[in-house]
Structure 1
C-alpha cells in the first residue's frame, strides 16, 4: 500500500488476467482474489515521510499512533490501487478483496501456522529462510 500502480504492476496484472481468463475459458475452476499488501517497511516509510513534512517523528506519535496513521494511509492508498486495477479491466473476484492485515485474515494465518507447528511440519530454528 505504497501509492499508485506503475507500469510494472500493469504488466504483471495484465499477464495474470490473461492467464486466469484462459483457465476460465478452458473450464477450470478459478479464483483470482484481489488484495493489497501492507508492504511493511515501505508503507511505514511513506507514513514517516508524511510525519516528517509536519515536523513530527514516529516516536512523537508512539506505536499506536503510527499504526493508526498507517491504517489511514491504507484506506486512502489501497482504494486508489484497487480503483486503478478495476479501470485496467482486471477480471478478479472483487467481492472477495482482502488486505493482509485484516483481522480475520491475520487470524486465519496464525491458525494455520499453529496447526502446521503442532503437526511438526514447520519449526523454529536459527537458519536462513528464503521467502
Structure 2
C-alpha cells in the first residue's frame, strides 16, 4: 500500500458517514440531551452530584449516573472523591470537556432562542396532517 493510499484509508477510518466509524459513536453520545445539559451545567466549575440533579430538572438518578459515567469514560468529565462523612463526590470538566463547551453552549443557546420558531413550524406541519 502506498503512503497516499494509507492516508486515504486513515482519513476514511474517521468518517462519521461510515457506520463503523468510532466518531459516529461519539456523535451519538454528544447528541444526547443529558450530555448537553450536564456539560453546560459544569461550565461554571465543579459540582456535586446533588447539585447537578437539582440544576437539571427532569433527569432521573439512573440517567444522571449513566451519563456522568459515560462522560468520565470519554475523558470529558473528571470525578473527584473526597473522603469525608458523608463522602463528597465532585464532577468537573476536563480540558477535553472544556474544549467542547463553545459548541455545546451554542447549541443550547440556539435551542432557547429558536424554540418558538420550531414550535410554530411544528404546529403548521401538524395542521396539514
Bin for the TM-score computed over the shorter chain: under 0.3
TM-score, with normalisation over the residues of structure 1? 0.27
Higher relative contact order (CA 8 A, sep 6+): 1
| TM-score normalised to structure 2 length | 0.27
From the two aligned structures, give the one with the greater strand fraction.
2
